[in-house]
Amino acid sequence: MYRLSILFLSIWLQFFVYGAAFKPVLNLLAPQGVLSPKMISQFEDEYHCNVRIEFVGSRYEYESRLRAGLRNYDALLADERILQRLYLQRQLRSLNDDVNFSLNQITKYPLQVRSRLNLDGRSYVTLMADPMGIVFNKRNFNVKQALPSWNWLISPEEFPFWRQRVFVSNFPKHQLLIALLATGKEITSSSWFIPEPTIKWLQNLKLQSVNVDYPLELAFLGNKIEAAVVFRSEYMRLKKVVPDLKFVVPNKVTYFDRIGIAVVSDTVQETLAQNFIKFLNSKRDHLIVNDNYISYNVINYEGSATKNWVAYDDENPIPRRIENILNDLYKK
């Protein structure tokens, strides 16, 4: 009887280990600070699976991961620009109807308006927003202005500590996008010239700005810069190293990114990936586990109305003639 009991226990343990070892595994690629361990554990318990997440430190690290291919992943969380590019490259699978159950709901939040490449909501699901703003060293900030503005970047008289210590990307196109936003102008495929107010704004920015080819944390610590234009998620990363930083969103208008999730076309766990997105979609009101991002249902953020925010897109080509004008401006 004793031997029979030992044999039965041994068989049961083997069955338990065998079953545990062959749980399906969902492989994810995601930015840091998006998914809480508690939520992942809840999904694993409900669907009897294991979730393996590969975290990416910043949005720019995604490029090297994407060049290596997505065959090792079943789903990925990324900013909307990356998801749109992958969708156009046919590297994403369409979502099931029951996954994005808000398809037919009337959108009442400005940040939830779907992009033109995801009008049917089946390419990916947006979960949270990431606004662009100005981060600066608050120790040297003495001007008391109630309403933050993009013109802060080009006002050396009001911000003497910022003189030639402002960083707005090393790419002229990005600076042009900020200048267009600040001056309320736009450029289309039929444009022949950059609007004069925008040119003047760029010229003033050129006098104020400095190029930085190393991490912004070191630039702030070394007093190389006093202010920079970044997304809020980048600010939270910088603040961990430089605690004296403050972040503001310009009052009238700003750019924003959205973080979304999609199913990779090469997935071997499509059903599990679809269920994971459905699970996150049902929990997205509680997804914000830190201050890196803001909820999609925000109407007003620190005095800035989200209805005035513009989805950031630096991948749309600008006319060649405009590009030549921009290059000539920066050669002077």
Q: Whole-angstrom distance between the N-terminal and C-terminal Cα of the chain?
A: 94
> What does the pLDDT profile of the chain (332 residues) look like in tens digits?
555 455 555 655 555 554 555 788 999 988 877 777 888 899 999 999 999 988 887 666 777 777 777 888 999 988 888 888 888 888 888 888 777 655 445 566 777 777 777 766 778 888 888 899 999 998 877 666 668 999 999 988 888 889 889 999 878 888 888 999 999 888 777 778 888 998 999 889 988 988 888 889 999 999 899 999 999 888 988 888 999 999 999 988 999 988 888 999 988 888 999 999 898 888 777 766 556 678 878 888 888 888 889 888 766 677 788 777 777 777 76
Q: Quickly count: other Cβ atoms within 10 Å of residue 233's Cβ.
A: 24
SS3 of residue 227 by DSSP = strand
Contacts (Cβ under 8 Å, ≥6 apart) of 249: 131, 132, 133, 148, 232, 301, 302, 304
- Asked if 219 and 212 touch (Cβ cutoff 8 Å), the reply is yes
For residue 60, the model assigns a pLDDT of 65
For residue 21, the model assigns a pLDDT of 58
Angstrom distance (rounded) from CA 67 to CA 88: 15
